């Protein structure tokens, strides 16, 4: 019984640290939220190259290119480059027809976005540019995206993550819920991190970097979640990623759990792969230089996702309640478990409300229990298949 009680308290402590981290960042974000956002934008100066990796995206690439070209930004200061990566369809022709430059890459043994970016940055003459933006091929770019990234780069920021919105929010209950992670990140996590001098994570889409930074570091993130790995690489280089909530892009999300399964497994595996590769260098840097940025990046990638943390907390609450019901409970553990779940529920609902979702999105919250169960299964599947590194293309809507 003593061992069981000790294990229960350790579990409670671990879960409390997870939600405590999020609550601390939320509190740190409040002054920034109260001040509101800046809307002044200087005269455009940044010479951009917008890189769009694409594998068999003939159906969508034209709309993506046109949305970039329609940005409120001087045409002389931006180039749009599509990388047709091992394509078997008309992606290259569609990209050129829409107005982009297109590079075609054929390396069947090195398929996927990480290798496409590595090849592209080795091919482009980056000295011609000041900024590099990376956009996925299923994305619509807001007209003010480049203007906001230009302002950020002129202010001295070198690695910037834009606001990743949902392009197809009305496809299903799942897509209606998909705006929650973006709301939590852009209203709570990212402003809180910036207030504390920490680095924001990258989302893989809607990213922008100083061209000199890419020229110096290259693109050497090859795990299945290249955005998480590059976030760690930047932390090791002492580069802080900032957030630009007014630089908005809209990407497609899977409209069903079945369509999203392979993608979520890939993300989970890639995150764990990046952690396995970089945790030692990050820890050594933090200890040697007595700096918190790499330590925070290490904790950020190692902590459970929002859904997994909530699912684990609900399981812990159920276990503590059952133990008390059979007379084996210990003290206030059920109440502690209930408080952990309540804190997470309040945090999620606050983030959801901050995004001002329509009523149909609130109704979609009824699907949360099913989503939590599914996400837990996906996480277990990722853990048991870490050695499988085959990139699988996500099915587009």
Q: Under a CB-based contact definition with an 8 Å cutoff, are residues 186 and 162 in contact? A: no
pLDDT at 355 (0 to 100): 81
Helix (H) or strand (E) holding 10: helix 2-35
CA separation, residue 19 to residues 25, 133, 339, 370 (Å): 10, 32, 11, 21
254 — pLDDT class (breaks 50, 70, 90): confident
Output helix, strand, coil percentages for the chain, rounded to the nearest 5.
60, 15, 30
- d(CA 43, CA 263) in angstroms, rounded, equals 40
Q: How many helices (H) and strands (E) does the chain have?
A: 16, 8
The strand pairing partners of 140, in sequence order, are 250
Higher pLDDT: 265 or 344? It is: 344
pLDDT at 393 (0 to 100): 59
Mean pLDDT value of segment 283-291:
95
pLDDT at 392 (0 to 100): 58
CA separation, residue 18 to residues 25, 94, 170 (Å): 11, 45, 31
Return mean pLDDT, the chain: 91
Q: Which of 160, 153, 157, 139 is nearest to 78 (CA)?
A: 153
The sign of the CA dihedral 295, 296, 298, 303 is: positive
Q: Where do the DSSP E strands lie in 12-149?
A: 48-54, 78-85, 101-105, 131-134, 139-141
Per residue in 105-153, pLDDT (tens digit) is 999 989 899 999 999 999 999 999 999 999 999 999 999 999 999 999 9
Q: Under a CB-based contact definition with an 8 Å cutoff, are residues 189 and 386 in contact? A: no
357 — pLDDT class (breaks 50, 70, 90): confident
CA separation, residue 226 to residues 32, 230, 387, 394 (Å): 29, 6, 16, 15
48-276: CATH number: 3.90.550.10
Per residue in 64-93, pLDDT (tens digit) is 999 999 999 999 999 999 999 999 999 999
Q: Write down the pTM of the prediction.
A: 0.92
How many other β-carbons are positioned within 10 Å of the β-carbon of residue 270?
25
- d(CA 181, CA 306) in angstroms, rounded, equals 8
Mean pLDDT value of segment 2-13:
88
Per residue in 17-57, pLDDT (tens digit) is 999 999 999 999 998 877 776 667 789 999 999 999 999 99
């Amino acid at each position: 019984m003593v061992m069981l009680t000790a294990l229960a308290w350790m579990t409670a402590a671990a879960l409390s640290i997870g939600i405590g981290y999020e609550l601390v960042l939320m509190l740190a974000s409040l002054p920034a939220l109260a001040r509101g956002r800046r809307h002044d934008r200087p005269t455009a100066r940044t010479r951009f190259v917008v890189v769009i990796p694409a594998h068999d995206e003939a159906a969508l690439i034209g709309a993506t290119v046109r949305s970039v070209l329609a940005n409120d930004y001087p045409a002389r200061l931006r180039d749009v480059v599509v990388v047709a990566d091992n394509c078997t369809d008309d992606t290259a022709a569609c990209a050129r027809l829409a107005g982009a430059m297109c590079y075609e890459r054929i390396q069947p043994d090195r398929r996927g976005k990480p290798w496409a970016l590595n090849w592209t940055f080795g091919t482009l003459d980056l000295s011609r540019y000041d900024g590099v933006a990376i956009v996925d091929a299923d994305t619509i770019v807001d007209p003010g995206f480049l203007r906001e990234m230009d302002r950020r780069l002129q202010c001295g920021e070198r690695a910037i993550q834009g606001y990743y919105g949902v392009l197809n929010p009305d496809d299903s209950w799942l897509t209606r819920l998909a705006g929650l992670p973006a709301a939590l990140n852009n209203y709570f996590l990212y402003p809180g991190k910036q207030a504390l001098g920490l680095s924001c994570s990258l989302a893989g889409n809607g990213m922008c970097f100083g061209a000199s930074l890419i020229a110096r570091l290259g693109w050497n993130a090859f795990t299945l979640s290249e955005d998480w790995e590059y976030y760690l690489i930047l932390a090791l280089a002492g580069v802080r990623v900032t957030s630009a909530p007014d630089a908005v892009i809209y990407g497609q999300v899977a409209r069903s759990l079945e369509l999203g399964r392979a993608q979520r497994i890939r993300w989970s595996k890639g995150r764990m792969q990046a952690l396995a590769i970089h945790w030692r260098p990050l820890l050594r840097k933090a200890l040697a230089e007595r700096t918190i940025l790499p330590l925070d990046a290490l904790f950020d990638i190692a902590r459970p996702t929002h859904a997994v943390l909530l699912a684990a907390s609900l399981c812990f609450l159920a276990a503590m309640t059952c133990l008390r019901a059979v007379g084996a409970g210990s003290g206030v553990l059920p109440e502690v478990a209930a408080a952990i779940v309540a804190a997470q529920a309040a945090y999620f609902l606050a983030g959801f409300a901050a995004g001002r979702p329509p009523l149909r999105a609130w109704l979609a919250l009824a699907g949360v229990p099913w989503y939590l169960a599914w996400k837990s299964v996906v996480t277990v599947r990722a853990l048991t298949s870490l050695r499988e590194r085959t990139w699988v293309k996500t099915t587009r809507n």
